[in-house]
Amino acid sequence: MTGIRLSGITKSFGDTSVLRGINLDIAPGEFLTLVGPSGCGKSTLLRIIAGLEEQTGGDVEIGGVRVNNLRASRRDLAMVFQSYALYPHLTIAENMQTPLKLRDLTFWERFPLIGRLWPNYAAKMAALNATVRETADTLEIGHLLGRKPGQLSGGQRQRAALGRAMVRKPVAFLMDEPLSNLDAALRVHMRSELADLHRSLQTTFIYVTHDQAEALTMSDRMAVMVEGNVLQLGTPEEIYRTPVDRCVAEFVGSPKINIIPGAADGNGRVSAYGTPLQQRIAGKARRIQVGIRPEHLMLAPEGSHNEGWPFRVTHKENLGSDFFLHGHLNGSNHRIIARLTPDEVAMVTIGSEITLCPAPGTPIAFDEGGRRIGFVKDRQ
């Protein structure tokens, strides 16, 4: 297994800065996801690692060796693209053979007719075909080797593209939004397949996506990128529960986190939209922003007014296992979303006036610049 290190990676196109000093240490065998909105620079960073794009500044190291001047074909990395990039006129077996032929056969051995006359050609092709068959069996596409890409479903083409990358046994896999062309149900299925594949291969995976659900479900660690910077690097649980920045909190989680205007008094006591919360921050009185995820909102007990907001329901969204309640706080124009169970909202209709409160310990505080503020324990 091989690790990858990025040190001070910058990239500019003319006067436009795309990457602004990226530093990442990717451990051997790790599944790291680069996640962020479109245009944040994640695909450009992946192409720089692959050697398909040259950085403006900084170093790329693979296995402790600096590879800045090493072309893509010499970096021993395999890339899986969003478009699959399969040759439409070749069978799946021939598509999977192609990288092995380029690597293992000599210039003359690759000629269709002349190559077969070379002494070692038969032995090389036998080994090559055995590798293709073994990889196809691992991906459960052995029965598809004789078909062409146009005869396969989206999921089958995705497995074939993975197989073509796997046959070379690279030191790392680079994946650029490989599931974005699949339908929703198949994406969920392929997420688990990719995670299983990573565990079985124990090879470094670097995965690019704008879909935070993919990042949360598959990654060992995820790097959240915004405008060419890595705002936070950590495990999915760390990113979700303790975002360091409002941008991270708003990007990760579905539906998006609710941001409610708040304030802290001279003792650090926090209130949000006029309702006091049982939490305190250090420092002087100031304006803050309070983040509460939709799933952390609950119906306040009957007659309770602590830590709650009057909420008028304007839309009720049925997702089967959950309901999203859209509405406004305190009769204002401030709109939030609550995620509740069908039993909780059975008697709630559009226009209902209810009281919502946050689950204990779940609100997150941000300063006016968007940086997270930690809560402190009350003095005894």
Closest CA to 45 of 33, 37, 53: 53
pLDDT bin (cut points 50, 70, 90) of residue 330 is confident
In sequence order, the 6+-apart residues with CB closer than 8 A to the CB of 269 are 276, 280
Q: What is the pLDDT of residue 190?
A: 85
Chain mean pLDDT for the chain? 91
**Average pLDDT rounded to a whole number, residues 12-34:** 95
pLDDT(364) > 50: yes
Task: Tell me: pLDDT of 378 over 90.
Answer: no
pLDDT the model gives residue 107: 87
Taking residues 52-63, what's their average pLDDT?
95
pLDDT single digits (tens) 216-244: 999 999 999 999 999 999 999 999 999 99
Q: Residue 261: pLDDT above 90?
A: yes
Pair 96, 164: CB distance under 8 Å:
yes
Peptide bond into 255 cis (omega under 30): yes
Angle at which helices 154-166 and 121-138 cross, to 10°: 130
One-letter amino acid of 355: T
Q: Is the dihedral of CA 267, 273, 277, 280 positive or negative?
A: negative
Give per-residue pLDDT as tens, 286-297: 999 999 999 999
**Above 50 in pLDDT, residue 380?**
no
Question: In which residue are the tokens 């936070």 written?
Answer: 232
How many Å apart are CA 24 and CA 15, to the nearest integer? 25
Task: Label residue 48 by pLDDT band (50, 70, 90).
Answer: very high
pLDDT at residue 379 tops 70: no
- List the chain domain ranges: 4-248, 255-376
- Same fold? 4-248, 255-376: no
Task: Kindly report the number of other CB atoms within 10 A of residue 112's CB atom.
Answer: 6
Q: 375 forms bridges with which residues in the sheet?
A: 281
pLDDT average, residue stretch 41-45: 95
Report pLDDT digits (tens) over 177-203.
888 888 888 888 888 888 988 998 889
What is the band of 371 on the pLDDT scale with cuts at 50, 70, 90? very high
Residue 102's pLDDT band (cuts 50, 70, 90): confident
pLDDT score, position 188: 87
Confidence of residue 283 (pLDDT cuts 50, 70, 90): confident
Statement: residue 279 has pLDDT above 80: yes
CATH numeric code, 4-248: 3.40.50.300
- pLDDT score of 324: 96
Least confident residue range of 3-12, 216-225, 231-240, 330-339: 330-339
CATH number for the domain running over 255-376? 2.40.50.140
Claim: this prediction has a pTM higher than 0.85: yes
pLDDT at 211 over 60: yes
- In order, the DSSP letters of 112-178 are TTGGGGSTTHHHHHHHHHHHHHHHHHHTT-GGGTTS-GGGS-HHHHHHHHHHHHHTT--SEEEEEST
User: Does residue 69 register a pLDDT over 50?
Assistant: yes
Within 10 A of 283 (CB to CB), how many other CB atoms are there?
Answer: 12
Question: What whole-number distance in Å separates Cα of residue 359 and Cα of residue 252?
Answer: 19
